[in-house]
């Protein structure tokens, strides 16, 4: 959680931004050193990063394009199943599994996008939730392939083969693999958001009508944003399957979809680092709550309610607001 303290000056002074970003990366690189000392474990940090990837992907649609997608767990889950099925049926290769999961979820996103986009606003939200349920029921019912309610098991993190060497993926090494992919995702998102394409996403959120008058094919922009976002979320799902060693229907469920949205809201939907911060808060809270109480679901629900009522701008938005005034 030191990262959250570090971000304060970044919001206050734009010039300190680089320094803080560097600080975050250094802290992330050193996680296996300091996290156990604080009573955490490496897999916890890995999970937080995976959720940060998923939520950052979602945030491209939610925060930047302004589309209320409440079904992103579908692509996360498809990524998980894609990775698992690839390891079981195609080849025991780590990069291939990650790629397979990412592509499976992303293609689903490309297909669902145009159908969901027929409606805007809250109806878009309803349709994305409903499509998420569709994939959930496919996973639950297609027993032979997916393992049904019990989830897909029977695969594990295989060693990574690099130039003839087999690198075994212990928790710490896997953490660094996830961190590297997190860095790639953040870099890609940074490049997209700086590009004309990224500016057009924000323009869709701010003033669709005007964008249309300017001759921009708005629907295509939303589709592109949605597709990119589902690819990123599916990548996170594939990594999650490798982390836990199985893919469960819960990976596709509406509760997880809601969790991704609340992660974005908690951290700050309008902020580049918001989903990352939200993921840390959420994962730490979830880990703690599920260890102390059986009713942790109530408390997660309570986090939803409190976030909406008292923190609609998210933590980063709140800090930025304070810094400005």
Footprint of another protein on this chain (CB under 8 A)? 62, 68, 70, 115-116, 118-123, 125-127, 129-131, 133-134, 137-138, 140-143, 254-255, 258, 261-262, 265, 295, 297-298, 300-305, 307-309, 312
What are the distances in angstroms from CA 299 to CA 134, 167, 295, 296, 305? Answer: 27, 40, 7, 5, 10
* Nearer of residues 176 and 311 to another protein, judged by Cβ: 311
Judge residue 118's burial from the number of C-beta atoms within 10 Å of its C-beta, 0-12 exposed, 13-18 middle, 19 or more buried.
exposed
Closest CA to 76 of 143, 160, 135, 152: 135
CB 301 to another protein: min, Å = 3
Is the CB of 61 or the CB of 189 nearer to another protein? Answer: 61
Minimum gap (Å) between residue 296 Cβ and another protein: 8
Nearer to another protein, 37 or 309 (CB): 309
- In the complex with another protein, the residue whose CB is nearer, 42 or 146, is 146
Q: Rounded to an integer, what distance in angstroms lies between the CA atom of residue 317 and that of residue 324? A: 10
Cβ at position 107, least distance to another protein in Å: 15
Residue positions counted in the chain: 325
Shortest Cβ distance from residue 306 to another protein (Å)? Answer: 8
- Closer residue to another protein, CB minimum distance, 3 or 138: 138
Q: Considering the complex, what minimum distance in angstroms separates the CB of residue 64 from another protein?
A: 14
Nearest in space to 277 (alpha carbons), one of 1, 33, 54, 57:
1
Pick the closer one to another protein by CB: 190 or 288: 288
112 CB-near residues (< 8 Å, 6+ apart): 71, 74, 128, 131, 230
Closest distance to another protein from the beta carbon of 283 (Å)? 17
Minimum CB separation of residue 71 from another protein in Å reads 11
CB 198, CB 22: distance < 8 Å = no
Please, how many CA atoms are within 13 Å of residue 96, restricted to the half-sphere of its CB?
12
Distance CA 176, CA 269 (A): 26
Structure token digits, residue 55: 């939520």
* Nearer to another protein among residue 1 and residue 130 (C-beta): 130
Phi, psi of 297, rounded to the nearest 5 degrees: -60, -40
């Amino acid at each position: 959680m030191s990262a959250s303290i570090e971000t304060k000056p970044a919001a206050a002074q734009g010039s300190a931004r680089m320094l803080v970003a560097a600080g975050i990366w250094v802290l992330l690189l050193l996680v296996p050193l300091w996290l156990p000392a604080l009573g955490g474990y490496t897999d916890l940090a890995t999970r937080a990063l995976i959720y940060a990837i998923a939520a950052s992907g979602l945030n491209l649609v939610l925060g930047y394009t302004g589309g209320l997608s409440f079904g992103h767990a579908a692509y996360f889950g498809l990524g998980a199943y894609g990775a698992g099925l690839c390891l079981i049926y195609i080849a025991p290769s780590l990069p291939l599994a990650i790629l397979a999961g990412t592509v499976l979820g992303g293609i689903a996103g490309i297909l669902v996008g145009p159908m969901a986009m027929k409606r805007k606003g809250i109806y878009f939200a309803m349709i994305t939730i409903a499509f998420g349920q569709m994939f959930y029921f496919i996973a639950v019912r297609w027993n032979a392939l997916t393992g049904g309610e019990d989830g897909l098991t029977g695969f594990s993190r295989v060693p990574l083969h690099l130039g003839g060497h087999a690198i075994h993926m212990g928790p710490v090494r896997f953490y660094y693999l996830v961190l590297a992919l997190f860095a790639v995702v953040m870099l890609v998102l940074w490049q997209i958001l700086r590009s004309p394409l990224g500016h057009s996403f924000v323009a869709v959120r701010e003033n669709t009508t005007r964008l249309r008058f300017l001759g921009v094919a708005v629907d295509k922009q939303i589709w592109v944003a949605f597709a990119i976002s589902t690819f990123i979320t599916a990548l996170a799902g594939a990594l999650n399957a490798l982390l836990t060693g199985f893919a469960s229907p819960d990976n596709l469920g509406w509760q997880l979809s809601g969790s991704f949205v609340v992660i974005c809201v908690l951290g700050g939907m309008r902020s580049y680092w918001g989903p990352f911060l939200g993921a840390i808060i959420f994962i730490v809270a979830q880990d703690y709550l599920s260890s102390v109480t059986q009713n942790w679901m109530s408390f997660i629900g309570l986090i939803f309610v409190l976030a909406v009522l008292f923190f609609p701008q998210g933590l980063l938005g709140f800090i930025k607001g304070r810094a400005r005034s």
